[in-house]
Amino acid sequence: MSVPEKYKLKCDISIPERYKHHVLTNAEKPNIPACNVKTIPGDMTERGCAFAGSRGVVGGPIGDCIQIIHSPAGCAWYQWGTRRNLSAVYAWAGQDTLCNDSHNRRRAITTDLQEKDVVFGGMEKLEKTCFEAWRLIPGAAGILIYTTCTSGLIGDDCYSVARRVEKKIGRPVFVIDAPGFSGVSQSTGHHHFNVQFYDQMLEYRKKCPEVCMKKDEMGPYDIAIIGEFNMDWDLVYIKPLFEKLGCRIVSVFTGGERMENLLKIPDVKLNVLHCQRSCTYISKLIKEGFQVPYIDASFFGIEQTASALRGVADFFGSQKMKEKAEQIIEEEIRCITPAIDFYREKLTGKKVGMYVGGPRVWHWQRVMKELGMEVVFSMCTFAHEDDYEKINARSKNGLFVVDNPNEFEIEECLEKFKPDLFLTGLKEKYLCRKLGVPTVNSHSYEKGPYACFRGMVNFARDIYQGVYAPVWKFVNL
């Protein structure tokens, strides 16, 4: 269904196929834009590649592994400490000191493919690289090998290398084959990581059953949090909530987690799925393979975090836990009400535009409402149909939604809807600056964490500081 004339963006007149990606929401009869399809070349897309999705988003947060990029140096460099997916696991910097940054962000390790490798193949180099990296970082718990465009195209059999290395070092060596050109966006990288990690985890658990949780170690309320990447230490607020509830968090996939715990995910009783775009795949696979159910959860905002807690309590069915959930929710709300009231008063009626990868666009519709703000348009980089269903369900009717927006569309929407604030990422924020629109970094946050009740105060503060920064008074001379 196409949008009414007044929503037709002028910049797309010459590429009319873009109009299929624009819709107005409707809660009863969801309108789903064309999505998860190829990008129009040269349209100035904001999308990234599958490698970014696998290494940057899903694999990047893993805390204690050596992550080797099988590529020329550039791809490894770009992933080096750039995303703020934090971890408590630090490598040794010397006899008595730990490094200054967590291990997952501290180093860039690469095969640095050269012309002759491209001609003759890079497998030998990869194998040597794995062994050497192991000798240089002897404390690591395993190795993750990522392919890229170059290694993907020259057709190196990385799996056979991985198996040989694994045998020698006695630790898991997994390959994530998601070269940049595969799929339409970083979303493909998420998918590849999920499936390939699951397969290799399964294989490794079979080969080395000692890595599985022993029967007597298992608890009745063991859960794993899936699809939470610990941006700016969101886990500081997520984990204690569930622990207060009486759950034991065995593992987080993958925020700051250790390999040892990742291998135990199939042994839990319930998976709590936060990022339902990047990690539904593995949740489903575990459900099918191990009969471990999962529930969807949002850890943003008051209502959604409360319902996540209730959802888990309901799953376990214990009356005590249900009561505990209510008690926690009451306490948490009381704890943040004065702060949130302050910001709601300041922010009520302010217009906000939103452009994130996918899930946060629906996670945050309610959050904005809780802060009294009006969402005036929403955009997603790599959302699929199910994401757009959720957006339709959680937003006001008639919200203008754009799938895979390009730079020009963003400019036109900022001009058209004149939001007081734009929730967006790093690349786009400087464009917004030039148009005089404040932003809050919605990928790595400004001064997080933003998750759960207590994190919401930080989120509200950063939005408030964006909207009320005195600089905007001087922009229009």
Partner 1 sequence: MPAQLKLNGRLTIEDLNALTEMPVEGITYDQMYIEKEPICPEYKEPDQDIIPSSKRTVVVDPGRICMPFGAMWASVGIHKCIPFVQGAQGCTTYPRYTFSRIFREPVSIATASFHEDTAVFGGRKNFIEGIRNLIIRYHPEVIAIITVCSSEIIGDDMEGYLDESIDELEEEFGPEITDEVKFAIIHTPSFTGSHVEGYNRAAAAFLKALAKRSTPEPKVNIIPGMITPGDIREIKHILRLMDIESTILFDISETLDCPLRLPQTMPYYPKGGTRINDIVNMGNSLATFALCPDAGGAGAKYLEKRFKVPAMIGPMPMGIYNTDFFIKNLAERTGKPVAEEIKDERGILIDAMADTFHYTMGRRVAIYGDPDIAAAVTRFVCELGMEPAIVGSGTESKQFVEEVWAAAHEYDYKPILLNGGDMFEWEDYIKKEKIDLILSNSKAANISKEAKVPLVRIGFPVYDRVGCQRRATVGYRGSEYLLDLIVNTLLESKFPDDRLQQ
Catalytic residues: 49, 52, 83, 190
DSSP state of 107: -
| Angle, CA of 54, 381 and 193, to the nearest 5° | 15
Tell me the HSE value of 317 on the side-chain side, using a 13 A CA sphere: 3
By DSSP bridging, strand 109-110 and strand 66-70 are: parallel
Give the DSSP letter string of 370-403.
Answer: HTT-EEEEEEESS--HHHHHHHHHHSPTT-EEEE
Q: Which of 389, 351, 164, 198 is nearest to 279 (CA)?
A: 198
Query: Going by DSSP bridges, is the β-strand pair 173-176/222-228 parallel, antiparallel, or unpaired?
Result: unpaired
Residues 6+ away with beta carbon under 8 Å from 467: 346, 347, 350, 420, 421, 438
Residues 6+ apart with CB under 8 A from 200: 172, 174, 175
Tokens found for residue 255 = 């925020």
Nearest to 371 by CA among 306, 307, 456, 308: 456
Type of residue found at 372: G
Distance CA 363, CA 390 (A): 9
Distance CA 420, CA 350 (A): 6
Show Cβ contacts of residue 366 under 8 Å, excluding neighbours closer than 6 positions. 298, 300, 301, 303, 304, 394
* For residue 172, cis peptide bond before it (omega within 30 degrees of 0): no
Residues in a beta bridge with 308: none
Give the pair of three-digit tokens for residue 74. 């550039």
Structure tokens at 281: 């795949």
Instruction: Give every CB contact of residue 411 below 8 A, 6+ residues apart in sequence.
Output: 11, 431, 435
Q: Which is nearer to partner 1, 16 or 209 (CB)?
A: 16
Give residue 424's identity as a one-letter amino acid code.
T
